Structure formats: structure tokens, C-alpha cells
Amino acid sequence: MSEIKGRIHSTESFGAADGPGVRFIVFVQGCRMRCRYCHNPDTWSMEGDGTTVELTPDEVLSKALRYKSYWKNGGGITVSGGEPLLQIDFLLELFKQAKAEGVSTCIDTAGNPFTREEPFFSKFQELMKYTDLLLLDLKEINPERHKNITGFDNANILDMAQYLSEIGKPVWIRHVLVPDLSDFDEDLDKLNEFIKTLKNVEKVEVLPYHTLGKFKWENLGIKYTLEDTNPPSAERIDNANKRLCAGKYACKG
């Protein structure tokens, strides 16, 4: 039995939007980024609150396997958050055990912890042996605008995307479209040019900004700075989809 424990915020038994098929979603606790539109600010704190639990990989996998009969069409386990890569030891052990059971594994990440420095990089290389797919959030291609959104530069995140391309690890790129924050034609075009350099992108998804998580900010007593921001119009969503070749990724020319 593993002694490693993960800090788990919550789980979802029948996720349909976080990878192929029906998936068991594990939301881990802890994230360093402070995305201004985050719909899970309750996962930011590394310690969590009274609802956060510590579970071993064995315990999480046992819980997930109860739903294995529903994992048709490539379904399996997705670890989201929070930021899964902040708990890389737990994630590695969980995915090793999952692959031993023939389970599809997916990471939903913003890439912020990525570095080619040790000890992280060796652990990440090992983790990729047991990871089938990554859902990678590319929040902005412009580094200053990225910092305005998240509090961090994006150089290491783009480096992670390039490394995943180098090793041929399947990726779905996601971009949250927020008016006046991450919806600029010149940046969408630059992001598309960057994506074109990658050899491993299976899908690109444009995720329109919404305010469904706003109440969590209020409950946590955190100022919500996008109070006057509305969801993007249908025209801007269509524009972003076209510029990013969204959907099953095919436009490489």
C-alpha cells in the first residue's frame, strides 16, 4: 500500500467534458495561479478547508474503479484541479496503478509548475509514460496579458507544450475566451501559429467565459474583478473558433 497521499478537493463520477468518453474526475487541492475568471477558487489553497481530504492513490483508484463499466469510448480517469502537477508524486503513483488496471489516464493542467529543472523534470518524464492525454490550458500567448490574467508569465507553459510535442504525447489545447482579457485577434492568430508548430495536438477547444463560479469568490470573500465582464458574443466565439481551427485539429496549413 502506498504511503503517498494526495490532497483531494472533490470527485465527479460521470464527467463528460474532461477528455474522451465518460470519466471519473479527481479535483486535487492547490494552485499557484490566480486566474481572474477561475470557477474553482476554492481549490487555490494548498491546505484546503474542512472538505479537503487526504487519500492514497490506492483509495482514489478503488473509488474510481466502481464506475469502470461506464467508461466506454475511451473513458477513464482525469485528474484536474487545482493544479495536478503540484502533486506529481501522488499523480505518478495513481497513474501507474491505473495503467496496471488498463485505465485511460488524462491530466487537465495549466502547466504552471512545469520546469526542465530537477527533480521535477525526471518525475514528469516518468509520469508521461503512464499518461494517455493532457488537456492543456493556454490562457494567452502574449506574456504580459497572460500575467494580467494569471499572475504568472507563460514561458515555461509554452516550453511544456513544446516538450510534449517533442515526445509525441497527445494533447487537447483549451483557450478560455474572455472579452477584453483573452479575446484579441492578433493574439488568437499568434496562438494558432504556435499550435501549428506542435505535432501532437488532437483537438483545440474554445471555452467561452461564464460567471457560474462567481458565487464561490463571494463566499470566499475574494474580490471578483470581472464584475462588469459579459460572456463573449456568438460572433466572437465563432471568430475564435475559426482563427484557432477549433474542433478536431486538422488545419495545419
Confidence of residue 1 (pLDDT cuts 50, 70, 90): very low
CA–CA separation, 11 and 17 (whole Å):
14
Residue 135 CB contacts under 8 Å (≥ 6 apart), including other chains: 18, 19, 78, 106, 107, 108, 109, 171, 172, 174
139-161 tens-digit pLDDT: 999 999 999 999 999 999 999 99
Cβ count near 203 (within 10 Å)? 18
- Evaluate if pTM is beyond 0.85: yes
167-214 tens-digit pLDDT: 999 999 999 999 999 999 999 999 999 999 999 999 999 999 998 889
Name the β-bridge partners of 216: none
| Summary mean pLDDT of the chain | 95
Helix 120-128, helix 88-100: angle, nearest 10:
20
Whole-number pLDDT of residue 251 = 61
Whole-number pLDDT of residue 249 = 62
Q: Yes or no: say if 77 and 55 are a contact pair by the CB < 8 Å rule.
A: no
Q: Yes or no: say if 203 and 172 are a contact pair by the CB < 8 Å rule.
A: yes
Confidence of residue 236 (pLDDT cuts 50, 70, 90): very high
Ramachandran category for residue 72: left, alpha or beta (phi over 0 → left; psi -120 to 50 → alpha): beta
pLDDT for residue 253 is more than 60:
no
Superfamily of chain region 6-248: Aldolase class I (3.20.20.70)
Closest C-alpha to 182, from 48, 37, 80: 37
Whole-number pLDDT of residue 231 = 96
